[in-house]
Amino acid sequence: MAWKYFQFSFILILINVISGRKVSLSINPGCEEYDYPHLVQVKAEGSNDTIIHLWSIWGSPVFLVAKAQPNATVTVQCEDFIDFKPKSVVIDPEPDYVFGIVFTQLLYFDDSNDTGKIDNIPIEDQIPFHMKRFTWDIDTLLNESIEEAGISMKAIEYNGITLKNTTKFSIKLTAYGVDGRSSILPHLLRTFESAQLDFVLDDLTWTEFPPPHPVFENPRYAFAFQLFSTENLTTDSSIEYMTRKSLDDENTPGVFNLDEITTPLARKSSKGGYMQWRPVSYLTPKRDINDATNVKVDGGMTILNKTDEYLSNSLAYGMFGNELSMARVAATKLVIGRPKDGYYSKYNYATWTVALGYGAPPLEGFSLLVIMVIGFGVGIPLVLFLAGGVFFLVKRLRRDNELLLN
């Protein structure tokens, strides 16, 4: 049995390697004369379609995935995009589907009751740092290969004030050409139709800001974001958040849940959009479960019927304009922390790693190692049991024959 599973897994790996997509990355496509990384494009090209990832930290940060035709191109009207004019970024031919996220605010709040939630926090105990006011710089450019391409960006200023040298507020973005798992904890599943976002909030304490410093005794962070797609949403068919149980914690030790946000089409078919993550935030760079806390959506999904200041100053508006007001956007918040974890100030470090993709969220399953362990663990006792039964039966038959002969 174990050998059959090994053969099957080897065939899957071989098919995956052979069918891997060529992944290419470009910065400011068509606008190379601009120094600031207004737009990053990654293409995972296949024979039947092309998966296009567009990442922008100009204005409100936007990260999206589009399923497009094999020959699809991205055209950017540079000056118009800088002003966020509608249709300043166009995918041609028009893509079959688009799903993306707009990060609107990084919320810094005082959790005086140690609830690990933000919905019950008074406004005066919250400080919203608007994501569009951060200035970013390219920290690392990942090498392109058939497997992946990506970029790491680090915030260097907020509202014109330089962040201190020890602060690292970064986003590492990676897109893939083959299925598999991410190499960094929490080792999320990856597909050629997905990208991974890895956030690090290191020593983000705001002490460099002029007095009064925005400092709380019980500080936590939360992300406010908006999700958009080319699907129309209703109260009966909207973007949903759910938690599912995982089969084991082999790839993410100590974590048995998997959180997902899905569009209606992602739940009904393989043609929608999704976010998927393990509800864990590591509190030290070594990413040990012993120094970790929770990451969870706090509150429901709110459908937006009009564009606000965050959407209208983003890549999303540059692509779709007022089409975003046609019930295609939902907003929510995600909190880092849980009761009795010591708050952000205990380590001054937190992470959040999430996959953003097209289709249905990939399903967790047992690895080859686990299957072999189960196979041997169940198979060997079963064989011994059957062998013992056969031995007992043969012995009894011999005894019965001897009695008949006598």
Give domain limits for the chain: 22-365, 369-406
State the pLDDT at residue 372.
46
CA-based R_g, the chain, Å: 26
Q: Are 215 and 221 in contact (CB under 8 A)?
A: no
The whole-number pLDDT of residue 49 equals: 95
Q: What is the pLDDT of residue 306?
A: 85
pLDDT for 40 equals 96
CA–CA separation, 175 and 150 (whole Å): 6
CB atoms within 10 A of CB 138: 14
Six-digit token string for 223:
């992300």
Q: Which pTM value belongs to this model?
A: 0.86
Rounded to 10 degrees, what is the CA torsion of 76, 78, 79, 80? 20
Which bin fits 384, alpha (ψ -120 to 50), beta or left (φ > 0)?
Answer: alpha
Identify residue 123 by its one-letter amino acid code.
I
| pLDDT digits 0-9 by tens, 224-259 | 999 999 998 877 788 999 999 877 778 888 898 999
In tens, the pLDDT along 66-76 reads 999 999 999 99
Q: Which fold has domain 22-365?
A: Beta-galactosidase; Chain A, domain 5 (2.70.98)
Give the amino acid at 379. G
Beta-carbon contacts of residue 384 (< 8 Å; ≥ 6 apart): none
pLDDT value of position 400: 58
pLDDT score for 399: 66
Structure confidence at residue 374 (pLDDT): 42
From 28, 84, 85, select the one nearest 54 (Cα to Cα).
28
What was the pLDDT predicted at 375? 47
In this structure, the number of other CB atoms found within 10 A of the CB of residue 369 comes to 9
Reported as type and span, the H/E element at residue 126 is strand 126-130
3-state secondary structure 191-233: CCCEEEEEEEEECCCCCCCCCCCCCCCCEEEEEEEEEEECCCC
CB 188 within 8 A of CB 63: no
Decide: 174 and 150 in contact? Cβ < 8 Å: yes
Q: Where do the DSSP E strands lie in 31-79?
A: 40-45, 50-56, 62-68, 73-76
Q: What is residue 14's predicted lDDT score, i.e. its pLDDT?
A: 40
What does the alpha-carbon distance between residue 364 and residue 352 come to, in Å, rounded to a whole number?
A: 19
Low-confidence spans in the chain with pLDDT less than 50: 1-18, 366-376
Strand partners, 285: none
Q: Are 318 and 84 in contact (CB under 8 A)?
A: yes
Question: In the 3-class helix/strand/coil scheme, how is 231-261 assigned residue by residue?
Answer: CCCCCCCCCEEEEEECCCCCCCCCCCEEEEE
